[in-house]
Structure formats: C-alpha cells, structure tokens
Amino acid sequence: MSSWCQLGFQDAGSYFMEEFIYFHDFTMMIILGVLSYVVVFLVLGLLSGWVDSGFVEGQLIEFMWTIFPALILIQIAFPSLLLLYLIEDFSKSFLVCKVVGHQWYWSYEIKTESSEILASVDCYMLPREGAFGMRLLLTDEFLMLPINVPVRILVTSDDVIHSWTIPSLGIKGDAVPGRLNQLNVTLSRKAMFYGQCSEICGANHSFMPVMLMGVTSPQFFMWLDRL
C-alpha cells in the first residue's frame, strides 16, 4: 500500500511487478545519461565563443549521433518486448479467477482450468466506522490467492465499465460488459494487497476497493472450504 508523499512504486507483490520496476530503473538510468550528455554539450556550446568546424561538419560525429540513439532504443526495446510477451503468456496457469464488476462491488469466482467452480464471494466496502482508519480500502470479504502459483484472471462487468486494479501486483484490467479480458499474475510473497476501481463508473465509483491476500496453498484450500 502506498504511503503519504511516496515518490516511487509500491513494494512489488508479484514477479511481473518486480520486472516492471527493474525495467523502469534501467530506462531511467539511460534517460539520465542521455540528458546529462546533452546538457553538458549545450552548456559548453553556449559558454564557449568558438566553433570547431570538425565537430559541426564531421562525418564521423554525424555517424555516431545516428548510431548511438539507435543502439539505445534497441537496448530499451528488447526487455520491453520480453515483458509484453511474458504478461500475455497464459499457458502455465493452474487456477482461474473470474472477476465481475458491479455497481458498486466486486464478485469473484475461483475455478480450475477445467471450468469447475470451487468458490464464489461478493466483496462490499466496509463503512467508515469499521474501516480501522483505512477508509475506502477495506471490504467485508476479500479474495485469497496462493503464492508461487500462476493464476489466470478473467475480468468482466455486469453493468458499466469498471477497472480492476492492484498497483503493487502490476495488474490492471478493464471490466467491460459482454467481454472477457485476461490478466496473468503470480504472487511472490504473503501479504495483503489493496486496489480500487480505476474507471469512473458512476456515483459510487470511489467505493469499490479491491482486497487480495497472498497465502500459502494450505491456507488457500482452507479458505475455499470456509466458503
């Protein structure tokens, strides 16, 4: 969960989010390097009163400032394309979670890959009196998923467009009526993760929190038995 005046990402709760943070840091280092290089030459060009004709008209420097940006873009493109491929790979999922958005609550169905429904639960936001200082984030029930297990998440809506989002897991899926959107997530640690609807869906749009708990596999099956 994010804190007051936090400038960085939330602590990663999935392997994909860890890779997103690594890629962000890697890209920012490249941007800072390029920016520093450009600023230095800009300042030198403004402060010096002479112009080097070899620097202005040289074929070698023109070749270098054409090739180097291309190499930098390739260096950014390969890990980006790899991440795009990995988040769309649903071949190894062992569990299916169907998320349905309503005005204004979420409902979940836990299924196997053979479409056998294991459990279902509706999650409504707790009123301010029962939120224990975490206003607009707590629900009466919450979703549990096992850690280190690939899960396919199907997102849809029963009425208007919603958006099921958990920033610390790096997942965000639009819930569109009559359409199924797929997400892929593998939790990396035990924790409680919070999110909210990220699509303006009506008068009570602000009152659709998401709570997801990462647990061990035995705890997950005990939760299924309780439902």
How far apart are alpha carbons 38 and 30 in whole angstroms? Answer: 12
| Average pLDDT rounded to a whole number, residues 27-36 | 93
Is the four-CA dihedral 24, 25, 29, 30 of positive or negative sign?
negative
Distance CA(176)–CA(162), nearest Å, equals 7
Residue 25 has pLDDT above 80, yes or no: yes
Predicted pLDDT of residue 133: 65
CATH of domain 95-225: 2.60.40.420
| Residues found in the chain | 227
Q: What is the pTM of this model?
A: 0.83
Domain boundaries, the chain: 15-48+57-88, 95-225
d(CA 168, CA 17): 7
Per-residue model confidence (pLDDT) at position 56: 64
Residue 146 has pLDDT above 70, yes or no: yes
Distance CA 156, CA 182 (A): 9
Q: Tell me, what's the pLDDT at 129?
A: 65
Q: What is the pLDDT of residues 156-186, one digit of tens each?
A: 999 899 999 999 999 999 999 999 999 999 9
pLDDT digits (tens, 9 = 90+) for 81-94: 998 888 888 777 88
Helix residue ranges per DSSP H, 88-139: none
For residue 187, what pLDDT band results from cuts at 50, 70 and 90? very high
Percentage of residues in the chain with pLDDT exceeding 90? Answer: 51
Burial class for 146, CB neighbours closer than 10 Å (0-12, 13-18, 19+): buried
What confidence category does residue 1 fall into, taking pLDDT thresholds of 50, 70 and 90? low
Q: What is the pLDDT of residue 20?
A: 92
Q: What's residue 59's pLDDT? A: 76
The answer to whether 116 touches 141, Cβ cutoff 8 Å, is no
Per-chain mean pLDDT for the chain: 87
**Confidence category of residue 55, pLDDT binned at 50, 70, 90:** low
Mean pLDDT in residue range 103-120: 85
